[in-house]
């Protein structure tokens, strides 16, 4: 007797065709692995509240807030506005 889960999986597989989601060449596998590993690492860091004191947003702020404040005409941010 066919299980309900098998039927549902067959319907899902027929609609979505999961086999096409799999990389083919080694180069595709490398990129897939890097992106997925980054995603898992970032998700774990987020779950464990591992925010470094000088995080990525600070880096962006350091790099681009100067240009942004020039665009604003000398000042940036809501606090100063």
Partner 1 sequence: MVQVSRYQLILMLIWTVLGTGIVTMPGTIAQFTLRDAWIAGFGLMLGAGMCAVIALAHVRLFPGRTLTQAAIDALGPVIGRAYGIWFLAYGFVTLATIGREMSAFIGISVLPNTPDFLVSAIAFAVSMYLAYLGIEVVARVNEFILPLAAVVSPVLFLLAARLFDPSPFQPFLGDPAVDAWRAAVVPAFAYGLEFAIALQWVPALRTPRTLPWDIVIAGAISAVALSALVTLTVGVLGEPARYLNYPVLELVRAIRQGKFVERLDTLYVMGVSITLVLKLATFQLAVGEAVKDVSGSHERTWIPVPVALLGWSLSNYLFRNVFDVTNFIVRVVPGYLLTTAVLLPGVLYGIRAVQTVGAKQRRALRDT
Residue 55, classified by CB atoms within 10 Å of its CB into exposed (0-12), middle (13-18) or buried (19+), is exposed
User: Which residue in the block uniquely carries the two structure tokens 């180069």?
Assistant: 27
Q: Is 13 in the site for partner 1 (CB under 8 A)?
A: no
In this structure, how many other beta carbons lie within 10 angstroms of the beta carbon of residue 65?
13
How many angstroms separate the most distant Cα atoms in the chain?
A: 73
- The single residue among 5, 14, 21, 52 that binds partner 1, judged by CB under 8 A, is 21
Per-residue mark of binding to partner 1, 28-67 (x: CB under 8 A)? x-xxx--xx-xxx-xx-xx----x---xxx--xx-xxxxx
Q: How many CB atoms lie within 10 A of CB 69?
A: 14
Q: How many residues bind partner 1 (CB under 8 A)?
A: 43
Contacts to partner 1 by CB under 8 A: 16, 20-25, 27-28, 30-32, 35-36, 38-40, 42-43, 45-46, 51, 55-57, 60-61, 63-73, 75-78, 81
């Amino acid at each position: 007797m066919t299980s309900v889960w098998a039927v549902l999986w067959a319907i899902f597989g027929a609609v979505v065709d999961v086999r096409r989601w799999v990389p083919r060449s080694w180069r595709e596998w490398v990129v897939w692995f890097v992106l997925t590993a980054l995603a898992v690492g970032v998700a774990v860091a987020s779950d464990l509240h591992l925010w470094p004191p000088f995080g990525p947003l600070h880096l962006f702020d350091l790099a681009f807030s100067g240009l942004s404040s020039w665009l604003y005409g000398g000042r940036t941010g809501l606090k100063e506005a």
